[in-house]
Amino acid sequence: MLDHDDTDDVLQNTFIKAWKALDNFKEESQLFTWLYRIATNEALGFLRQKNKNQVQSIHPIEEQLGKNLESDPYFTGDGLQLKLQQAILTLPEKQRLVFNMRYYDEMPYEEMSGVLETSVGALKASYHIAAKKVEDYLKEHLNLRS
Question: Domains in the chain, please, with CATH?
Answer: 1-74 (1.10.1740.10), 77-146 (1.10.10.10)
Q: Please, is 28 exposed, middle or buried when counting C-beta atoms within 10 Å of its C-beta (0-12, 13-18, 19+)?
A: exposed
Q: Are 87 and 66 in contact (CB under 8 A)?
A: no
- Residue 86, pLDDT score: 86
- Residue 58, pLDDT score: 42
**How far apart are alpha carbons 52 and 107 in whole angstroms?**
30
**CA-based R_g, the chain, Å:** 17
- Residue 15, pLDDT score: 92
Mark out the alpha helices in the chain (DSSP H runs).
4-20, 31-53, 61-71, 79-89, 93-103, 109-116, 120-141
Per-residue pLDDT band at 135 (split at 50, 70, 90):
very high
CA angle 76, 35, 127 (to 5 degrees): 60
If one compares 76 and 108, the residue with the highest pLDDT of the two is: 108
Q: Are 95 and 130 in contact (CB under 8 A)?
A: yes
Backbone angles phi, psi at 95, to 5 degrees: -65, -35
Longest CA span, the chain: 54
